[in-house]
Structure 1
């Protein structure tokens, strides 16, 4: 189990180092996930321990939000000054993201149906 946890930390650390050294505009944790993905794709063996560790982390994900909540409380003066603007910006950007996601999904669905309508592929009789 320690090995699986170490693998997660090493991938995150290497991703962070690469992001800082190269100066990529990506968070190190994202590069760490890519490194982990490449590692797992290259090794074709049982990963039961890693599955157990990640299942435990996912089950206790709410604990991971405690530092963020403490950080918000610690930034009380900033939130009192810019809080309304942050809430408005977050709400507008979330709604805009939802609308764009729906539009892209409908576009992709229509494109897929134009190429191969459901039930009308070669050799399939509806």
Structure 2
């Protein structure tokens, strides 16, 4: 039996690495799994206090001042009639008392929308973004 001389044929021998890498990954996975099984979990035993499951304290809602505007264009706060200048001073006082307070304008449905927007713009000059239009 005669062996062929591969060097003379010009072909270089090839090493197929894929099967070797598959075996190496299998061995690596085996050692990782064994290491995880053999190590003891370390932790600290903690005894939690036995307490009632009380809900967290509820935050009080911010104060709201409802300004009503009827069909005749009159202002009412808590069913008391106000002139526009009285209302402006009342709003300034109310908004100074609490930083989270806000004002809601409730306008009558019969009132023209232009008048509602004009009043809302005037109130926003006083209260800024803490003034909003209420809808029902």
Give me the TM-score of the superposition, normalised by structure 1: 0.26
The structure with more strand, counted as a fraction of residues = 2
Give me the TM-score of the superposition, normalised by structure 2: 0.24
The structure with more helix, counted as a fraction of residues = 1
Larger RCO: Structure 1 or Structure 2 (Cα < 8 Å, ≥ 6 residues apart)? 2
